[in-house]
Chains A and B, each alone.
Chain A
């Protein structure tokens, strides 16, 4: 087991190095650089600035400096925002995205498993049709539409009741988190519901569930001890990438709800060609995704005994 985890971590480091390298060279192949902006600049000023940031060095030297700093966990200083270290930006704003993301994943996973199991239990009956209709909506309506609509309904709700039930935007308390997290997790919840439904149906018609029935196991116990654990396996598999996708892909929702998450800085940095911020956040997001996938694989091993020894 430990050997397995070690192997996965080494593989993960290799993946992160690859992401870093690809990002680095991709960035340098984009026309323009962080010093290209509207302000007029003399040749001398530009040369001085390039010298200061090391942009006059050959690209291989720049790459080696970048790798060395990366190994130390130092992503450098922002080109655009004065005197701000990329590490500080991540440290300040990632926790916001992470909390929002984790909450969204919790909503998505519990909702997905619950609704998926329900649709399978009530297959081809009213609850099944109703939930599957909502699932199609959840998958096909983009999150900014859902975000705006949910804000609109919150406003109506708050005016109707006469006090603030849930805040419409902003950040600070648990109340601020609920609706954005739900909106953020909605499409994943819909996807997981479908996955759980088909997985549950497959398990229900499996030989071992028939065996459990032949042993006289009551239906509730069959559901809890034989069906759920086996049906949940495919859901757990996709949970890792889903966590990363939700946490890193939340910037639209963050923008609509005015949440100071990392996503906004990532998008701004891309627009301004802020090399260090782009590379810092990309490598950070990449590492986060890799970590989540490893984590899920380890958890999977605890749920499915076959994975533990096979590795």
Chain B
């Protein structure tokens, strides 16, 4: 088994997600939360998934982790392969537990994400006992070391304390220590700094980057903050209404934005660079109702460049340069409209 694993190792990305589709049954009908999402992450790389609330970014990663309650949730199509092995709907891969051992995860609100009646040290020690067979005492000693690694002062004393005795930033550090306790190959961070104040945000992001350099893990970072993306990401997937609308390297997506939604997001983001000072432009309207997804492009009603075909048919992904791609009819060979705010293939 080990040998087989090593074989697929070379060449293939660490994690490949293809055409993932997730639905939820609710009293109001079936919500198509994720409608065909694909991306991949390499070892040591950071992929940022960006998008507004309800675009399906959290559901995407929670499906990979098997955290979607089923029912009401349902993965209707797609695959997620870790080193070439399917992990969707499975709890182990190559004899190793996926959750906690292969993939670690941290969440948006550290205040509520830790068990209030268990000491921090015990909570960090728990995955070590489960996945690595550590004794309670060894696991606790290792937990203290992990807290030190996450730059928590007086780790030995802190490990014996309860979550209510920690500040939000300290709790997120403890969460990181916990998620990384079994040295996972991927860390999924679901809006890890949204609930923290700005100075603490920067420290947490620095810590994540530092630990990534040490361990070579991949990070999947979910956020709606483009500032965080710019600081952290190697690759960016922009999600809208359950689909990835633009995908590419951070430079491509930021400086060669090819989808009107990405441009809209950038224009709605404040900047402190006086040279690029501009009036903030909100994106008018709201995302489509995913109980009844539109026949055409989901962004069409809000798009300043919408054409007739946009409301009739789903756009396909268009490769632009390297692996930079955008799902937009404007990039179709027959499209005559070429808005100058967008990047087009022939500009290269």
Segment at the interface with B among A114-122, A141-149, A204-212 = A204-212
Interface size class of B (residues with CB under 8 A): 20 to 34
CB proximity of A211 to chain B, nearest CB, Å: 5
Interface string of B36-65 (1 = CB under 8 A from A): 000000000000000000000000000001
| A208 surroundings in chain B (CB, below 8 A) | 112-116
Is the pair A306, B99 in contact by a Cβ cutoff of 8 Å?
A: no
Interface residues of B in 76-135 (CB under 8 A from A): 91, 97-101, 104-105, 107, 109, 112-118, 126-127, 130-131
CB within 8 Å of A: which of B123-154? 126-127, 130-131
Known pairs A216-B97, A216-B101, A217-B126; A211 contacts B114 (CB<8 A): yes
Tell me whether B67 and A210 are in contact (CB under 8 A): yes
Residues of A within 8 A of B67 (CB): 210, 213-214
Residues of B within 8 A of A212 (CB): 115, 126
Whether the pair A207, B107 counts as a contact (CB closer than 8 A) is yes
Q: Using Cβ atoms and an 8 Å threshold, which residues of chain B touch A306?
A: 116, 162, 164
Q: Is the interface of A mostly helix, strand, loop or mixed?
A: helix
Closest partner residue, chain A, to B91 (CB atom): A216
* Interface segment out of the listed A50-58, A223-231, A282-290: A223-231
Of B112, B115, B178, most A-chain CB atoms within 10 Å: B115
Report how far A230 CA is from B118 CA in the complex, Å: 10
Q: Considering the chains assembled together, what is the distance between the CA atoms of A216 and B132 in angstroms?
A: 12
A304 sits at the interface (CB 8 A): yes
B100 with A226: CB separation less than 8 A: no
Q: Is the CB of A214 within 8 A of B65?
A: yes
User: CA–CA, A304 to B116, complex, Å?
Assistant: 8
Whether A216 pairs with B127 at a CB distance below 8 angstroms is yes
List residues 287-310 of chain A with CB under 8 A from any CB of chain B.
303-306, 309
- Which of B131, B162, B175 is A216 in contact with, Cβ under 8 Å? B131
- CB neighbours of A305 from chain B (8 A): 116-117, 162, 164
Q: How far is the CB of B261 from chain A (nearest CB, A)?
A: 29
A147 vs B159: C-alpha distance in the bound complex, in angstroms? Answer: 52
A216 B130 Cβ-Cβ under 8 A:
yes
> In the assembly, what is the distance between CA of A211 and CA of B192, in Å?
13
Report A170-226 residues with CB < 8 Å from chain B CB.
206-208, 210-218, 221, 225-226
- Size bracket of the A interface: 20 to 34
Main secondary structure of the interface of B (DSSP, over half): mixed
Which residues of A sit under 8 angstroms from B127, Cβ to Cβ?
A: 215-217
Contact of A206 among B112, B130, B165, B175 (CB under 8 A): B112
Decide: A303 near B130, CB < 8 A? Known: A215-B100, A216-B100.
no
What is the bound-complex CA distance between A212 and B117, given in angstroms? Answer: 13
User: Closest Cβ of chain A: how far from B288's Cβ, in Å?
Assistant: 27
Residues of A within 8 A of B113 (CB): 207-208, 210-211
Write the chain A residue with the least CB distance to B124: A215
- Find chain B residues with CB under 8 A from A213 CB: 67, 99
- B99 to A214, Cβ gap below 8 A? yes
Q: In whole Å, how far is B180's beta carbon from the nearest beta carbon of chain A?
A: 11
- Give bound CA distance, A205 to B319, whole Å: 41
A230 touches B130 (CB 8 A): no
Pick from A210, A214, A218, A225: contact of B118, CB under 8 Å: A225
Interface string of A85-102 (1 = CB under 8 A from B): 000000000000000000
Instruction: Determine the chain B residues whose CB is within 8 A of the CB of A230 once the complex forms.
Output: 115-117
Q: How far is the CA of A210 from the CA of B108 in the complex (A)?
A: 12
Distance, CA A214 to CA B100, complexed state (A): 6
Report yes or no: A215 in contact with B99, Cβ–Cβ below 8 A.
yes
**A215 neighbours in B (Cβ, 8 Å):** 99-100, 126-127, 130, 178-179
How far apart are the CA atoms of A229 and B115 in the complex, in Å?
Answer: 10
Which residues of B sit under 8 angstroms from A214, Cβ to Cβ? Answer: 65, 67, 99-100, 104-105, 107, 179
22 sampled A-B residue pairs with Cβ under 8 A: A207-B107, A207-B109, A208-B115, A210-B107, A211-B114, A211-B175, A212-B126, A213-B99, A214-B99, A214-B104, A214-B179, A215-B99, A216-B99, A216-B130, A216-B131, A217-B126, A217-B127, A218-B130, A225-B126, A226-B118, A230-B117, A305-B116
4 additional contacts, CB 8 Å, given A216-B101, A225-B115? Answer: A211-B115, A214-B65, A216-B130, A304-B116
A interface list, Cβ under 8 A from B: 206-208, 210-218, 221, 225-226, 229-230, 303-306, 309
The 9 closest A-B pairs by CB, nearest first: A216-B100, A216-B99, A207-B112, A215-B100, A214-B105, A305-B162, A208-B115, A207-B113, A216-B97
